[in-house]
Every structure is written in C-alpha cells, then in structure tokens.
C-alpha cells in the first residue's frame, strides 16, 4: 500500500509518495491506487494551469481527476474526502456539504471546514 503525504514548509509545498519498499518520490501532482492512470493523465494534461489556479479551481481539478479514474463508481461525500494545507493554512478537511457540491458540477462553493 502506498501513501501520499502532502505538506508545506519554508521551501514551499511538497507531495510525496511512499512505497512499502521504503522508497519515496516527490511529485507536483500524483494519483495512486487502482484505476489511477486516468487521474494521472488528467493531472499531467492540466498541470501547467495549477500554479495560477485559485484553491477553488485546484479542488475542481482534483475532483475532475478523481472522476476520470472512477467512472464505474458513483462518487459521494461518503467515499470522497478533500483536505487542504498551505502557507499560513493549517490542514483542514472540506465539509461533506461542500464535497457534494463539488461532485455535482464543480460550481460555486462557499467552503466550510469540518
């Protein structure tokens, strides 16, 4: 089982994948798990827009990548969690109510932390 671990320090944002073998890799964007290739493809195609994207748009990209990899599964707030961390932003999870809105159409969402 691999793990994705994200964080922020004085040198910026970081995203690491750790493997059971003890190896680890740093990425700008990554998806792991079964059927993750479609999500990776989405992230690679849209990566150039991420640096200038708002948090709202980044979450929409994440949801779109997730939808690309799970076409056979109905996504809901029961099987999707969204966490946020960044400069001057301690980790928090997006509320289930807002996740439902992002999954519905990615439209305007006034975010609430859980």
Q: How is the chain split into domains, by residue range?
A: 35-104
- In the block, residue with structure tokens 């305007």: 108
Task: Please give the model's pTM, rounded to 2 decimal places.
Answer: 0.82
Q: Does 80 have pLDDT greater than 80?
A: yes
pLDDT given for residue 96 in this prediction = 96
pLDDT given for residue 54 in this prediction = 93
Task: Quote the CA–CA distance of 12 and 27 in Å, as a whole number.
Answer: 13
- Take residue 74 and report the two structure tokens written for it: 């109905």
Q: Does 109 have pLDDT greater than 70?
A: no
- Hey, which bits of the chain come out as E strands? 3-9, 12-18, 24-27, 83-86, 89-93
Name which residue leads in pLDDT, 26 or 90.
26
């Amino acid at each position: 089982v691999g793990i994705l671990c994200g964080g922020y320090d004085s040198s910026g944002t970081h995203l690491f994948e750790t493997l059971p073998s003890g190896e680890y890799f740093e990425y700008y964007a990554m998806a792991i798990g079964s059927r993750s290739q479609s999500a990776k493809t989405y992230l690679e195609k849209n990566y150039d827009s991420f640096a200038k994207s708002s948090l709202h748009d980044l979450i929409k990209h994440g949801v779109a990548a997730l939808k690309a990899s799970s076409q056979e599964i109905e996504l809901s707030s029961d099987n999707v969690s969204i966490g946020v961390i960044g400069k001057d932003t301690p980790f928090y999870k997006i509320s289930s109510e807002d996740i439902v809105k992002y999954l519905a159409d990615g439209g305007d969402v006034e975010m609430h932390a859980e």
